[in-house]
Amino acid sequence: MSLDRPSPTTPPAAGARARTATRTHGFTESVIREMTRLCTIAGGVNLAQGFPDFPCPRELKDAAIAAIEGDVNQYAVTWGAKGFRDALVRKHEAFYGLAFDPEREVTVTCGSTEAMIATLLALVNPGEEVIVFEPFYENYGPDAILSGAVPRFVRLREPDWSFDPDELAAAFNDRTRAIVVNTPNNPTGKVFSREELGAIAALCQKHDVVCVTDEIYEHMVYDGLEHVPMATLPGMRDRTVTISGLSKTYSVTGWRVGTVLAPPDLTLAIRKVHDFLTVGAPAPLQEAGVAALSLERAYYERLAADYDVRRRYLVPALEEAGFRAFLPHGAYYVMTDITAFGFDDDTAFARWLVSEIGVAAVPGSSFYSDPAAGRNRLRFHFARRRPTLEAAVERLARVKGRAKAGAAGA
Ligand SMILES: Cc1ncc(COP(=O)(O)O)c(C=O)c1O
């Protein structure tokens, strides 16, 4: 079947373009969504877009149904239902020993996606700079454009995705307003160490910069490592915006419930933006979120252990298939090097992989400001049931024999 259909988000023809705002013109279709679409057409196994294909916990479903039946169907308080904010604060304190005021320091958003854009809109004036580590989660680029922030990228270098402290220090200047830190990290699986966070914290304090952390994968950490929230570091409690949400920890990416913990002055600004962007997050699902946030610790241990089993299955299989895999220590992604396959273009390789082999992954270039830096990279995710991963692995076993021919034809 032809994969050359125009995408639903192909930019409009010249005449139509004048009807749309300039800020939208630089956006391309999310490559992840493109791969998902191609995967559906090809009937492949989707290891591109990172969401689970297994159900969320029973307790959450029951609580959501009960909330809707119980008529929790109107707007919640704009910055979040009280019960949910209270439960979030309780859980955060239990896990990280850090107390927040649910009345003045918590905002509940439509996913951590809204949390990030609302935070940047609230904190950064157009033309001011935001430091972003790359490879980065692909939403951060458009987030910067929408908020008018100028992103300054600092490279994480494989195999351990460490950064050069001098390069980081050089990225800070008078115009720097914020730095975005995503740990555990998408797409690399890096878990920032306490020392690395300490180096970032020192620079934030030296330059009076706010640290915005995306901790959506906080409960997926392996190999005995620990997730360290930036806000727990000395001096950082009042200069950190901590973003997380229900999507990944409770396997409910479609619920769209995200959270922001921040000191009162920052929260006030974030709440204003949030109010005008969305009014509020889904009321019944915040109610159900109380059940989620009240789950026993064993739930989180099991979640990480189950993901670890998937990781230990997929990573060696990728290596067996000829990929060089960079072992992730957190989140549910694995970055690979595809040099061995002879393609000189990651997107061409990803298209070939989905159409000829039947496995969708994300071209590495979509995670870099300079696409050339990701040309020999491909990202897979492993938030899949075992049979789905087995189907992917079975297909991937065919890559070795066919990649050279594919490269010649590409
Ligand atoms: C690093 C990161 N942040 C945020 C999100 C989106 O999370 P949410 O569903 O809470 O908007 C994702 C989803 O893949 C992600 O990888």
* Calpha distance 303→289 (Å, rounded): 17
pLDDT at 13: 62
Instruction: Please state, in angstroms and as integers, the Cα–Cα distance from residue 207 to each residue in 77, 172, 179, 203, 212, following that order.
Output: 35, 7, 11, 6, 15
Residue found by looking up tokens 């989660």 in the block: 137
Whole-number Å distance, alpha carbon 409 to ligand 1 midpoint, is 36
User: Which protein residue has the closest C-alpha to ligand 1 atom 14?
Assistant: 50
Q: Compute, in angstroms, the gap from residue 408 CA to the centroid of ligand 1.
A: 36
pLDDT at 5: 37
- Cα 46 to chain center, whole Å? 17
> Residue whose CA is closest, atom 7 of ligand 1?
112
Q: CA-CA distance, 246 to 177, in Å (whole number)?
A: 27
* 100 Cα to the center of ligand 1, angstroms: 23
Structure confidence at residue 402 (pLDDT):
73
Give yes or no for residue 216 CB within 6 A of ligand 1: yes
Distance from C-alpha of 266 to C-alpha of 255, rounded to nearest angstrom: 25
DSSP alpha helix (H) spans, 124-259: 140-147, 165-171, 194-207
**CA-to-CA distance for 179 and 163, rounded, in angstroms?**
14
Residue located via tokens 């974030």: 270
Q: The whole model's pTM is what?
A: 0.94
pLDDT at 6 (0 to 100):
38
**Mutational pocket test of ligand 1: of 140, 186, 381, the residue with most ligand atoms within 8 Å of the beta carbon:** 186
227 near 185, Cβ under 8 Å?
no
Which atom in ligand 1 lies closest to the alpha carbon of residue 333?
16
Given the structure tokens 């800070």, which residue do they identify?
172
Å from CA of 187 to ligand 1 middle: 11
Query: Measured in angstroms, how far is the CA atom of residue 14 from the centroid of ligand 1?
Result: 33
d(CA 255, CA 240): 25
Cα(253) to centroid(ligand 1), Å = 8
- Probe residue for ligand 1, chosen from 248, 252, 253, 382 as the CB with the greatest number of ligand atoms within 8 Å: 248
- Among all chains, which residue has been given the structure tokens 């064993």? 298
Report the C-alpha gap between 257 and 247 in whole angstroms: 7
Q: Which residues of the chain have pLDDT under 70?
A: 1-18, 29, 403-410
